[in-house]
Amino acid sequence: MQDIIKLQKKIVPEITELLEKRYSILKSIYHNQPVGRRTISEELDIGERIVRAEVNFLKDQGLIEIKPDGMLTTKQGEEVLEKLKKFIFELRGLSDFEKFIKTKLGVKGVIIVPGEIDKDIVASADMGRAAAEYIKNILRDGNIVAVTGGRTIKGVVDNFPKVTSMKNVVVVPARGGIGRNVETQANTLAAKLAEGIGASYKLLQVLDTFSKTAMAAIVKEKEVKEVLDMLEKTDLLIYGIGRMKTMAARRGLSEEEIQKLVDIGAVGEAFGYYFDKEGRIVHSTTTVGIKYEEVKRIKNQVAVAGGSIKAEAILSVIKNNINAVLVTDEGAAKEMLNLLKKENI
């Protein structure tokens, strides 16, 4: 397929551009249906006149139908989308990206979805679905699953397919709460994921903002200790990755404290630990939850993060983690590729 794609790009490059545009419009209609032309135009940043022309073409081909409440994809349209997915993936060279990044980082695997989540709502949903599908395939009876919080992990949980065949699976939050948004806290996501896969769950009712003295007392509580004991036996860890400055601000660190993190080279954060460009832990927060020593022994880890702005943070957290599978987007992958090539230079 790659040889055909290379020839096509050289001889008729306009065809590949048109194909990608029509694929993006059809995919956007599918994910937003029923939807109007203006919404598609704004989401894809394509002129409404161009969208109108392409929509008419897709309708004539029987791939969509237009109803009073908006456009919808037909069964044939859904089939075309599914068949085009792999072609678009190869067209953008994403399989080569996956192999290169996996080798350079020394991780178990890399899964890349087309687009960039910060610019494309559809890419965000695709990344959540890709991670959910991979997790579903490696989930086993009796597993203890730990999840962190955050919008990205919420996207994974929201797109998780119904699973009814698993037995004795327990989902636990990987750490205490952070921030005021309850919807994206680890406790909420653990409970929602458990409900979706027919598992049981435990909660960790501890905020990261508690003092060291308060935390020392809380970890002795029976319910908290029970979750911490389970975290030591975690079979599958699902976590997001954040930029140092973003996460530090979210935890209420002062400008002076953030500057100290900058000075020691911190660029990325995951489950309360801050990493430098070489993948070394340079700082950790006072938190109740999974410890890095426990993380290292977990054989199945799924890190989910996207957006070109997070590329450096992703590299810092994932580097040399032989148990991690990274699920990311095209925007982050391209920027990671650039950063890794610079390292070689």
| DSSP per-residue string spanning 73-141 | E-HHHHHHHHHHHHHHHHHTTHHHHHHHHHHHHT-SEEEEESS-TTT-HHHHHHHHHHHHHHHHHH--T
Q: Which ranges in the chain belong to alpha helices (H)?
A: 2-11, 13-32, 37-44, 48-60, 75-91, 94-105, 121-138, 151-158, 186-197, 212-218, 222-231, 244-250, 255-263, 292-297, 311-318, 330-344
- Long-range Cβ pairs for the range 178-186 (8 Å, 24+): 178/149, 178/207, 178/208, 178/250, 178/251, 179/149, 179/250, 183/154, 184/149, 184/150, 184/151, 184/153, 184/154, 185/149, 186/147, 186/148, 186/149, 186/289
pLDDT (tens, 9 = 90+) of the chain, 345 residues, equals: 555 656 666 665 677 788 888 998 998 999 888 999 999 998 888 899 999 999 999 999 999 999 999 999 999 999 999 888 888 888 888 888 999 999 999 999 999 998 888 887 778 888 999 999 999 999 999 999 999 999 999 999 999 988 877 899 999 999 876 656 788 899 999 999 999 999 999 988 766 655 566 666 666 677 788 888 899 999 999 999 999 999 988 888 889 999 999 999 999 999 889 999 999 999 987 677 888 888 989 999 999 999 999 999 999 999 889 999 999 999 999 999 999 888 764
For residue 229, report the phi and psi dihedrals to the nearest 5 degrees.
-65, -40
What are the structural domains of the chain? Answer: 2-91 (1.10.10.10), 94-344 (3.40.50.1360)
Q: Say how far apart CA 316 and CA 151 lie, in whole Å.
A: 20
Specify the pLDDT at position 326. Answer: 98
Q: Say how far apart CA 83 and CA 344 lie, in whole Å.
A: 37
pLDDT tens-place string over residues 40-52: 998 888 899 999 9
Burial class (CB in 10 A: 0-12, 13-18, 19+), 14: exposed
- Long-range Cβ pairs for the range 336-340 (8 Å, 24+): 336/101, 336/311, 337/97, 337/100, 337/101, 338/311, 339/311, 339/312, 339/315, 340/100, 340/101, 340/104, 340/105, 340/315
CB 152 within 8 A of CB 306: yes
Show the tokens assigned to 7: 């020839």
